[in-house]
């Protein structure tokens, strides 16, 4: 299944997204992680689109082909990302969607669906898949991410960047050689001196320094009243088992709306690229 590459203005910024399939069954928004791009969702989007779903995969502001923020301190945060999501849905005339979010993308979905920041979205998100994301994240893992996200290295060649990404994203689990190559080629930005670096604005890491509690979102989680699927990498250092235990008795967990699956062979975060993971997400969405 092929996709189209598109641009739309949201909150005064140009946002890039890929658009897959036709909405015979409905529409899914698939949102990527902190330092990644919407192309990470290719396998999921292809799988769902072949089953009658339209799938929208945005690049967050400051990532991939989307515009960088001129006000990073105030715009690289969950509240602004939720505004982008609302304006994206309004611009594409999406009345209701299912949301799949990896890491940061899951947090954005939680904030949107909770309705505390963007009240108009509360009833427009029908289900929420959290791919290794939770309303509280391990501080040691956040510190690890802060250590590399704000100062991305540069390389002389794309081949060297691929070797680096294979090491950094080893917790994603198994990827084919072709998938590693695509992940790399959709992550490339060339610097003025001709060297290669990952395709994001290093200032996006200001979210972790200027908004130190941005990912402490229990209030938003507690406000959820929709089906939630939590996919946790068995070896995840970001979503701790004790956090999952608390999720089970709060918010959608207390309402019997939380489904939890431990994903073997992965840490943070499962790549959503192998059949078992794709089927888990598809079955959940289609039963929501």
Tell me the CATH number at 11: 3.40.50.1820
Specify if 128 maps to a domain.
Answer: yes
Residue with more model confidence, 63 or 144: 63
Specify if 185 maps to a domain.
Answer: no
Strand partners, 100: 30, 129
Specify if 160 maps to a domain.
Answer: no
> DSSP state, 155?
B
Specify if 194 maps to a domain.
Answer: no
User: Which range (69-78, 138-147, 180-189) has the least confidence?
Assistant: 138-147
> Full-prediction pTM beyond 0.85?
yes
Specify if 274 maps to a domain.
Answer: yes
Structural domain total, the chain: 1
**Helices (H), ranges, the chain:** 42-49, 72-75, 78-91, 104-114, 139-149, 158-168, 177-185, 206-210, 218-222, 241-248, 251-254, 275-287
Dihedral through CA 137, CA 143, CA 145, CA 150, nearest 10? 130
Mean pLDDT of the chain: 97
Q: How confident is the model at residue 247 (pLDDT cuts 50, 70, 90)?
A: very high
pLDDT at 146: 83
pLDDT at 1: 62
Strand pairing category for 196-198 and 228-233:
unpaired
Cis bond upstream, residue 99 (ω within 30): no
Other CB atoms within 10 A of residue 252 CB: 22
Work out the average pLDDT over 82-92.
98
Would the pLDDT of 147 be above 90?
Answer: no
Specify if 190 maps to a domain.
Answer: no
pLDDT at 232: 98
Would the pLDDT of 145 be above 90?
Answer: no
Written as six digits, the tokens of 124 are: 């427009």
* pLDDT (tens digit per residue) in 102-134: 999 999 999 999 999 999 999 999 999 999 999
pLDDT at 33: 97
**Domain range for 217:** 3-152+200-287
Work out the average pLDDT over 127-148.
93
Sequence-distant (6+) residues with CB within 8 A of 107 are 78, 101, 133, 214, 215, 217
pLDDT at 149: 85
User: Which range (18-27, 146-155, 196-205) has the least confidence?
Assistant: 146-155
Dihedral through CA 251, CA 253, CA 256, CA 260, nearest 10? 140
Sequence-distant (6+) residues with CB within 8 A of 105 are 30, 31, 32, 33, 60, 131, 133
Specify if 231 maps to a domain.
Answer: yes
Q: How confident is the model at residue 246 (pLDDT cuts 50, 70, 90)?
A: very high
Percent of the chain with pLDDT over 90: 96
Would the pLDDT of 176 be above 90?
Answer: yes
- CA separation for the pair 228, 3 (Å, rounded): 27
Specify if 119 maps to a domain.
Answer: yes
Q: CB of 263 within 8 A of CB of 232?
A: yes
pLDDT at 144: 86
pLDDT at 252: 98
- CA separation for the pair 284, 288 (Å, rounded): 6
């Amino acid at each position: 299944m092929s996709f189209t590459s598109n641009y739309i203005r949201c909150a005064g910024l140009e946002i890039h997204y890929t658009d897959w399939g036709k909405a015979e069954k409905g529409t899914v928004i698939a949102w990527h992680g902190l330092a990644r791009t919407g192309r990470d969702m290719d396998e999921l989007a292809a799988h769902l689109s072949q089953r009658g779903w339209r799938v929208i995969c945005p690049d967050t502001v400051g990532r991939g082909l989307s515009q960088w923020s001129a006000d990073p301190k105030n715009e690289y945060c969950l509240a602004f990302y939720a505004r982008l999501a609302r304006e994206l849905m309004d611009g594409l005339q999406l009345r209701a969607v299912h949301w799949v979010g990896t890491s940061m993308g899951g947090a954005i979905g939680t904030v949107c669906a909770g309705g505390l920041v963007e009240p108009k979205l509360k009833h427009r998100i029908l289900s929420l898949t959290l791919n290794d994301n939770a309303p509280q994240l391990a501080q040691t893992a956040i510190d690890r991410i802060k250590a590399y996200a704000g100062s991305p290295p540069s390389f002389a060649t794309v081949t060297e960047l691929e070797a680096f990404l294979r090491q950094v994203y080893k917790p994603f689990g198994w990827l084919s050689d072709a998938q590693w190559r695509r992940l790399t080629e959709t992550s490339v930005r060339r610097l003025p001196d001709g060297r290669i670096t990952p395709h994001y604005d290093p200032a996006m890491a200001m979210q972790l320094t200027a908004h130190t509690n941005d990912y402490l979102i229990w209030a938003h989680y507690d406000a959820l009243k929709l089906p939630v699927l939590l996919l946790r990498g068995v070896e995840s250092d970001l979503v701790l088992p004790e956090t999952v235990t608390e999720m089970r008795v709060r918010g959608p967990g207390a309402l019997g709306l939380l489904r939890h699956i431990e994903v073997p062979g992965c840490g943070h975060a499962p790549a959503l690229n192998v059949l078992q993971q794709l089927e888990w997400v598809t079955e959940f969405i289609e039963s929501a």
